[in-house]
Structure 1
């Protein structure tokens, strides 16, 4: 079978941290042939490090999509551009892996679904947390019935002082929001995936614009939990710094979502600086806050806690301190492109995530719940 030809639109942080090293592990099956970025030096650097000898560099994604030899593209741009570029790529006959979130708004996410259906091309979204070992173990616990009927869950990703100080994360015009759409999206996707429940009744929520506009000198120059210098420009900061959401499912279950880049809470997004989920059921409960699947159940009529699975320090190739782990996300994607398996993260599931996030922002603006159809 001929190698699959892949193009990349966006060669910034997430491209170099996850997608380029992840796809480089698949070079037996793929050729990385095209790289596009508004900053040409970024595209040139990516092409030199990861591309084929004849890899092409672009600053206009339309030119990349015009190359009929390219089979699939990764859309790795700021959130606001996901819809426009993904729809154009699908219409150009390319399969698409779009980085999370699917889109900045429900309307844009719907356009992406419609383009997928219209073209018959594959579309998946970059929710890598599902693939983490502890979360795969947690999924097995739920699917094997250890929790019984899951009626309550918490989706959490909190940073005490972790505002991204690179890229355009604090620019609402390019990202659509702050920590809710950036990291809360991971916690929510993970929780919905573990519950296998995407039927939403209504959403109510609030976003807070409190700490992001403050610059406390004592925090400037300190390194945050993500290893970044903890100072940001409070004059240009125009997204929320934290948000909460209450999601009522049609079967009566409830999910409480919390996300923050800056919040005065001692809790700091669990072990390994990751998103985590807490699930409560009629037979037992579990969480992944410790970096493992922690099962809370009853043994011999006594409350018991069982740690299931091994603690693993890193899961993403470009962010690994030691040897780069194999990227399950890209392994599954490449198998799907070769016709050897199905997509693991469907666009329909990701659409629900985007709709919930968008509804939390709307509820915060209006002070009213948002009901789903």
Structure 2
């Protein structure tokens, strides 16, 4: 299979922690250029993941002028997702953009409109869809095993794990805190399982209760209260047009022992499911309550070590096959834009104290 020639815009944490190692492992990509506002970061990424001929840029517009580049990875803070992705597609490049799709719904809509106008492929980095528990549960939902799903919870709770690096605490750059950072994953999973992308209304509550504290026991070290300009917790109640309801919970710091991240709980008329203790599907069978726990950590071969392929590895394969082989995307921009729209509505509802209604 031929190499897909790509450019990387943003060589920070998400690039080095997720995408670049997975791209290297995949073996079907050739990185022609690295771009970062900090030149040293781009040079370091080239040294580890590029070739001698890979180019270095500090201006993404110069990278987009490289005719050999077929696709661009947009791995920057949320604020710049939209304008870089739009420019890339207008330059004839396909785009893999990190989550969330954009800082605002208007920005996300511009991305979707540009993808449609240019015919370029656009996908968003919701890699939790590729987990073994997620793919199993998705098949169960598609098969109708749960029946109509009318109530769900989207879980994104941390007890004390506020990211203290980069621009995570900067509202201007990110658009928010845990809601837009990890709540976006939980909501994406939930909507995808329900196959329901038609919200009717949203009520939201946003809190900044712990950001001013010190000696926090934070997993990533103490944060600077002066720089903590985003919420530490946010919660949303989402009513769908078909009558279904979703409760979204997100926090980086919450006094709770019920911590779960990038998980969903579903309640259907035939059965329910959650990811609280591995994947569990609950139902009534032969007039008895029962719980099914599928074995997802092995291939069934005695000598197989059970280590599953990482979600981000699958994500790269799906993107490669969409661009090179014309296969269908798993994460479609038409779905990701609904996630952004709901998140924005939660923030808006929290500010006004009123429900946000959609057309």
TM-score (ref. length: structure 2): 0.94
Partner of 1:335: 321
Q: How many residues align?
A: 350
Partner of 1:7: 7
Distance 1:252 1:358 in 2: 21
Aligned ranges 1:93-112 → 2 under 5 Å:
93-112=92-111
Distance 1:165 1:7 in 2: 28
- Asked if structure 2 preserves the Cα contact closer than 8 Å seen for 1:150 and 1:280, the reply is yes
Q: CA RMSD in A?
A: 1.5
Aligned ranges 1:52-201 → 2 under 5 Å:
52-201=51-200
Shift of 1:3: 2.2
Matched, 1:347 2:338: no
Check 1:169–1:159 CA distance in 2 against 1; reply closer, same or farther (3 A cut). Answer: same
Distance 2:54 2:92 in 1: 20
Shift of 1:2: 4.3
Distance 1:287 1:2 in 2: 40
Distance 1:153 1:324 in 2: 28
Distance 1:209 1:325 in 2: 34
The Cα offsets for residues 21-44 of structure 1, whole Å up to 9 and x where unpaired, read as 1111232x3211110011111111
SS of residue matched to 2:162: coil
Partner of 1:295: 281
The Cα offsets for residues 318-370 of structure 1, whole Å up to 9 and x where unpaired, read as xxxx8974711111000111024111100010000000000000001111111
After superposing the two structures, state which structure 1 stretch, 246-255 or 140-149, moved more.
Answer: 140-149
Shift of 1:155: 0.2
Distance 2:51 2:2 in 1: 15
- Asked if structure 1 preserves the Cα contact closer than 8 Å seen for 2:160 and 2:218, the reply is no
After superposing the two structures, state which structure 1 stretch, 141-150 or 252-261, moved more.
Answer: 141-150
After TM superposition, the runs of 4+ consecutive aligned structure 1 residues lying more than 6 A away are none
- Asked if structure 2 preserves the Cα contact closer than 8 Å seen for 1:137 and 1:309, the reply is no
- Asked if structure 2 preserves the Cα contact closer than 8 Å seen for 1:7 and 1:34, the reply is yes
Aligned ranges 1:261-300 → 2 under 5 Å:
261-269=252-260, 274-290=261-277, 292-300=278-286
- Asked if structure 1 preserves the Cα contact closer than 8 Å seen for 2:199 and 2:241, the reply is yes
SS of residue matched to 1:308: coil
Distance 1:62 1:23 in 2: 23
Distance 1:41 1:251 in 2: 51
Check 1:11–1:63 CA distance in 2 against 1; reply closer, same or farther (3 A cut). Answer: same
Matched, 1:366 2:352: yes
Partner of 1:17: 17
TM-score (ref. length: structure 1): 0.91
Aligned ranges 1:211-222 → 2 under 5 Å:
211-215=210-214, 217=215, 219=216, 222=217
- Asked if structure 2 preserves the Cα contact closer than 8 Å seen for 1:75 and 1:97, the reply is yes
Distance 2:5 2:296 in 1: 36
SS of residue matched to 1:139: helix
Matched, 1:256 2:247: yes
Distance 1:164 1:151 in 2: 34
Distance 1:289 1:337 in 2: 35
Distance 2:2 2:292 in 1: 47
The Cα offsets for residues 229-262 of structure 1, whole Å up to 9 and x where unpaired, read as 3x10001111000000011011100000000001
SS of residue matched to 1:256: strand
SS of residue matched to 1:180: helix
